[in-house]
Amino acid sequence: MPELPDVEIARRDLERWAVGATIVAAQCGDRYLLRPGSPRAFTRALVGKKVDAIERKGKWLRLALNDGGRLFSHLGMTGDWVSRPIGAPPQRSERARLDVARGRRLSSVRYLDPRRFGRLIAARRDIPEWTALGPDPLSDGIDLTALSPALAVRRRAVKELLMDQAILAGVGNILATEALWMARVDPRVPGSALRPSDVRAIVRGLRRAIARELADRGPRGGGGEGESAFFVYGRRGQPCPRCGTALSSVTLGGRTSVFCPHCQARRR
DNA sequence: CGGCATGTTGCGCA
DNA sequence: TTGCGCAACATGCC
């Protein structure tokens, strides 16, 4: 579930399900997901409160409550929010439940997360994880005059820099991989070696990759049967959609980075 | 069985 | 301070 487009879809879902509603019951028994909170504090912070807004920055969600409290949600690798009828039995991998009331209409919003890498943090103020995030490419836009120097002063591989949440919030392995392919930039190129035209191409690539994933991961988007919508992510060994060369991969920052050795040739 | 996975954090060491 | 490799977290899928 986790990358900017998926989290944005989750945000829109939660907006439809919970904004304007009052939380009538809240439970999460998983201390690992709640870290550093506790099940009792979670329930206490939420029950009786009204949900005013669902915001997103990068891969984090923030539910704003009418008493000033906030619930922060990170989906980790496998988290997702779903809506169920009130009283529906817990399903596989269900980790938290928020029953909400809108007038007489009751429904239950559930957090599913098989792998439990996500977070659920009830707080009275913004948490450091949220505050430390850089600009969000979708809601804040990408400011070239800010991004260019941020990349230029670092010697790390451009792909690692794009995934640095303090530089751009929400870019993960899929978006970075796809955007660099679209931009024809080798993922290993140091930030300091990028030309202005590279940075512009990367920005265009990110915008296109985000729009593409939003379109077909969203509701009524092709998300179902069929091939993944990715050009190169997860396709090592398959032909490059642009030139037919077999796609290669390297490991950067511990993450697999697929690229086309022809289109994304390292310059020197 | 082994290998891999859309994320993040922390540690040791240079 | 920056960089880098690696392990850990917990689970499912191929």
pTM for the structure as a whole: 0.94
Catalytic residue status for A70? no
In the prediction, which pLDDT does A226 show? 47
pLDDT at residue A85 greater than cutoff 80: yes
Strand extents, DSSP E, chain A: 22-28, 51-57, 60-65, 70-74, 80-85, 94-102, 105-112, 119-123, 248-252, 255-259
Beta-bridged to residue A154, according to DSSP, are none
Q: Residue with CA nearest C6 C1'?
A: A254
Q: Is the shortest CB-to-strand distance from A77 to strand B under 7 Å?
A: yes
Amino acid present at A223? G
pLDDT at residue A221 greater than cutoff 80: no
| Positions on chain C within 7 A of a protein C-beta | 2-12
Catalytic residue status for A55? no
Residues 6+ apart with CB under 8 A from A239: A245, A246, A247
In the prediction, which pLDDT does A1 show? 67
CB A151 within 8 A of CB A191: yes
Beta-bridged to residue A112, according to DSSP, are A80, A94
pLDDT at residue A224 greater than cutoff 60: no
Confidence at A179, pLDDT banded by 50, 70, 90: very high
In the prediction, which pLDDT does A60 show? 96
Confidence at A266, pLDDT banded by 50, 70, 90: confident
